Chains A and B, each alone.
Chain A
């Protein structure tokens, strides 16, 4: 098969599977609903519980904690969105539909691509809903439309990379519930021990070293710079490197695991 034909079929396969996953979101709008409710709850709780205490500290930007908080929650919500990739793949493995796909003369990576891309597109909708709610709570972009779009783009890319991590663990565990639990165990401590909700400088000394050098901090700092103009200290490059690194490691790892699974 010629290389152009191969690429063409790879696109056809990936689109067929992306469409399948998007149609599921159309048919099961509650999936998107609950994905959007989650950041709304987090924004509400954090803003009104911590906002009073943190609103006058280093966590206030332009006088409001919501400006500090929203980029952090946005990163967190895309990570939770990425979890769905792992859960969905584990569910597919148990339903027998993966066996069918594997018996077809289609690309081996298209099932995973279709899933991660669909989950990224879904994240766009969730982020959109969340931004509207953030505006109601007083969040504003202070750095222009171009930067605002770049912020959403970087967060989406980072979430896309995390989707591949979740894909790998979903295929490894083969169990939707385990995949979900494992994801929560990873996401919660990583987001709390980062600059997502509070400034790292306020944390315990030993934790600061970790918090200052982990990708979620880079992702939130990068998006804070792009959204509200807080200095990023190279976070944009760091998060892009992390994203690339995760993709380079986890795409082949996931595809290899997929090949072995029945």
Chain B
């Protein structure tokens, strides 16, 4: 049973007229893991989730959830999955309890089972106190928790979370992360879409990056970062004369060539994917060489870096546009 993949996307495409929302994408994920789907707005993340959750059918290709084809057996798939989207898809005028009860009945649990499941979930999501209040009185975080709860009513074996943390405050985001980790610990598989590299990095066992409907990179978080050249430690020296000594001191730690910027006297040390351990080594090396840097910081690749690196063409488009705008502004 564990050999069945959580989901399997085989050369799937979705066209809306001329628009290729998703084009020839193949992906798969093992059970009991978190799969992170990373991409900017309009990349095709939601389209992929919609197809996997039977909301939309593919133009080409095939998709399977726990070995079941989504086009051929949508109802079987619907019994295995849970979906929580970008919106808190709950009814504002119903109470939290009524919302979950309705979903339970729609999963065809009987009245007693539904009652039991609902109170369990309310308890787990710390919503018991607010259970009998209308959802419109809930805070943003409570709504998201309830929405997540609604996706859990049917005890799904695989959970699809489409940008569940977009627009949330940091505390609520951490809370949701914790819930996701807990679910995976108990054997649930998760597909998580996000715009935040940090989030994918923190949670996902495996990450796929898509942009404009195409898969542009795939791998573990550290594999992806390695492709980007990884982390960089930067420090500023107080005196230009220290440059050669400093560069020599840290070169042993660097994974690529150390560079020096004359304008701000900053030395950049590429250190691969173990930034924080390398940071300590650099501090020790500088100490040994009797150099006291003005500032010292660790830079990890961000989503911006992913896109600037993976889609060079787009980055130069941005540069050209910026240059044009600059020229016009000067006239």
The chain A residue with its CB closest to the CB of B83 is A103
Kindly state the separation between the CA atoms of A136 and B53 in the bound complex, as whole angstroms: 55
Kindly state the separation between the CA atoms of A28 and B92 in the bound complex, as whole angstroms: 11
Please state if A20 and B103 are interface contacts (CB–CB under 8 Å). no
Task: Please tell me if B272 contacts chain A, counting CB pairs below 8 Å.
Answer: no
Report the minimum CB–CB distance from B108 to chain A (whole Å). Answer: 6
CB-defined contacts of B81 to chain A, threshold 8 Å: 103
The contact size tier of chain B is 20 to 34
CB-defined contacts of B50 to chain A, threshold 8 Å: 99, 262
Please state if A104 and B102 are interface contacts (CB–CB under 8 Å). no
Kindly state the separation between the CA atoms of A228 and B157 in the bound complex, as whole angstroms: 62
CB-defined contacts of A106 to chain B, threshold 8 Å: 106-108
Report the minimum CB–CB distance from A122 to chain B (whole Å). Answer: 14
Contacting B98 at CB < 8 Å: which of A9, A12, A23, A28?
Answer: A23
Q: Interface digits, A1-42 against B, CB 8 Å rule (1 contact, 0 not)?
A: 000000001001100110110011001100000000000000
The chain B residue with its CB closest to the CB of A104 is B106
Task: Please tell me if B85 contacts chain A, counting CB pairs below 8 Å.
Answer: yes
Task: Please tell me if A147 contacts chain B, counting CB pairs below 8 Å.
Answer: no
Known interface pairs A24-B93, A28-B93, A103-B54; A16-B105 also in contact (CB < 8 Å): yes
Contacting A100 at CB < 8 Å: which of B56, B89, B105?
Answer: B89
Kindly state the separation between the CA atoms of A17 and B105 in the bound complex, as whole angstroms: 10
CB-defined contacts of B91 to chain A, threshold 8 Å: 20, 24, 97
Task: Please tell me if B118 contacts chain A, counting CB pairs below 8 Å.
Answer: no
The chain A residue with its CB closest to the CB of B90 is A97
Kindly state the separation between the CA atoms of A95 and B87 in the bound complex, as whole angstroms: 7
Among A96-143, those with CB < 8 Å from B are: 96-97, 99-106, 110
The chain B residue with its CB closest to the CB of A102 is B55
Task: Please tell me if B63 contacts chain A, counting CB pairs below 8 Å.
Answer: no
Task: Please tell me if B181 contacts chain A, counting CB pairs below 8 Å.
Answer: no
Kindly state the separation between the CA atoms of A23 and B151 in the bound complex, as whole angstroms: 22
CB-defined contacts of B108 to chain A, threshold 8 Å: 9, 12, 105-106
Report the minimum CB–CB distance from B93 to chain A (whole Å). Answer: 4
Among B65-95, those with CB < 8 Å from A are: 75, 78-79, 81-83, 85-91, 93-94
Kindly state the separation between the CA atoms of A262 and B46 in the bound complex, as whole angstroms: 11
Please state if A105 and B83 are interface contacts (CB–CB under 8 Å). no
Report the minimum CB–CB distance from A226 to chain B (whole Å). Answer: 36
The chain A residue with its CB closest to the CB of B56 is A262
CB-defined contacts of A97 to chain B, threshold 8 Å: 89-91
Residues of A within 8 Å of B, CB-based: how many? Answer: 24
Please state if B83 and A100 are interface contacts (CB–CB under 8 Å). yes
Kindly state the separation between the CA atoms of A13 and B50 in the bound complex, as whole angstroms: 22
CB-defined contacts of B106 to chain A, threshold 8 Å: 13, 16, 101, 104-106, 110
CB-defined contacts of B102 to chain A, threshold 8 Å: 16-17, 19-20
Contacting A105 at CB < 8 Å: which of B56, B94, B107, B151?
Answer: B107
Known interface pairs A96-B87, A100-B150, A262-B55; A20-B105 also in contact (CB < 8 Å): no
Report the minimum CB–CB distance from A262 to chain B (whole Å). Answer: 5
Q: Interface digits, B1-39 against A, CB 8 Å rule (1 contact, 0 not)?
A: 000000000000000000000000000000000000000
Please state if A96 and B86 are interface contacts (CB–CB under 8 Å). yes
Kindly state the separation between the CA atoms of A104 and B134 in the bound complex, as whole angstroms: 23
CB-defined contacts of A99 to chain B, threshold 8 Å: 50, 55, 83, 85, 89
Contacting A23 at CB < 8 Å: which of B53, B75, B93, B154?
Answer: B93
The chain A residue with its CB closest to the CB of B101 is A16
The chain A residue with its CB closest to the CB of B86 is A96
Kindly state the separation between the CA atoms of A78 and B327 in the bound complex, as whole angstroms: 63
Q: Which of B91, B106, B108: most chain A Cβ within 10 A? A: B106
Report the minimum CB–CB distance from A117 to chain B (whole Å). Answer: 15
Kindly state the separation between the CA atoms of A262 and B52 in the bound complex, as whole angstroms: 13
CB-defined contacts of B89 to chain A, threshold 8 Å: 95-97, 99-100
The chain B residue with its CB closest to the CB of A19 is B102
The chain A residue with its CB closest to the CB of B52 is A103
Q: Interface digits, A162-203 against B, CB 8 Å rule (1 contact, 0 not)?
A: 000000000000000000000000000000000000000000
List 28 contacting pairs A-B, 8 Å CB cutoff, sorted by A: A9-B108, A16-B106, A19-B102, A20-B94, A23-B93, A23-B94, A23-B98, A24-B94, A27-B93, A27-B134, A95-B87, A96-B87, A96-B88, A96-B89, A99-B89, A100-B83, A100-B89, A100-B150, A102-B55, A103-B53, A103-B54, A103-B78, A103-B160, A104-B107, A105-B79, A106-B106, A110-B106, A262-B50
Q: Which 7 A-B pairs have the closest CB atoms?
A: A96-B87, A96-B89, A105-B78, A103-B83, A27-B93, A100-B89, A106-B106
- Given contacts A28-B93, A96-B87, A100-B83, list 19 more A-B pairs with CB under 8 A: A16-B102, A20-B91, A20-B94, A23-B94, A24-B93, A24-B94, A27-B134, A96-B86, A97-B89, A100-B85, A103-B53, A103-B54, A103-B78, A104-B106, A104-B154, A105-B79, A105-B106, A106-B106, A110-B106
